[in-house]
Structure 1
Amino acid sequence: MRRLIALLSLLPLTQAFASADASAPAKAVVPPPPVISPANAAEPEPEVRLIQKGDEKIEEYRLNGHLYMVKVTPSHGVPYYLMDDNGSGTMRQVDPSNRIVIPRWVLVRF
């Protein structure tokens, strides 16, 4: 019963706050932030070149003109990847059972 009386006594206060909000000026609507298009993005997207040799499909991934990964999908069997780890141009086959990929970011190039 005490709770009901306390709630009823607060009812006029809520009405006073509601009328104060109605007299406040309306806020301006803020426009959404601009959309960054891929052309304006800082990181370039990789170029993918598809080569079809018979039933075999080869996908070459290049970034800034440098070949860094090749995906080979043979006509029979599972696809496999060849990756250039250090930028020397030698490709190494990536083992699909070993999923650990060590990040090798280029921080500074001289």
Structure 2
Amino acid sequence: MQPIEAPTAPIAWHRFDAATYDIGRGEYRLPGGLTIGLYSAERTIVDLFRLRHDWGSDLAIGALKRWRRARESSPSALLSMAASFPKAQPAIRTALEILL
């Protein structure tokens, strides 16, 4: 009998500046006293623009469009957060100018 090989998912490692780790990150309580750290929608959009060379600009632009349709979206808050990410900020600013 031959061993069964389990399917594997592709893994990509990324290294980020430790100073940006907590930007847009919140801690949320789960049942049982556990907590989980999650990034805000704005931080997720910033990360999509930062990694658009890997994941594609269409994903970043699509997420930005969906976020803009939300009532609580604030382009100024997004740009304020993007200021901490100089590689993503120009692309986010340009995309927002086109969408607005």
TM-score (normalised: structure 1):
0.23
Higher relative contact order (CA 8 A, sep 6+): 2
Higher strand proportion, which one?
Answer: 1
TM-score (normalised: structure 2):
0.24
Higher helix proportion, which one?
Answer: 2
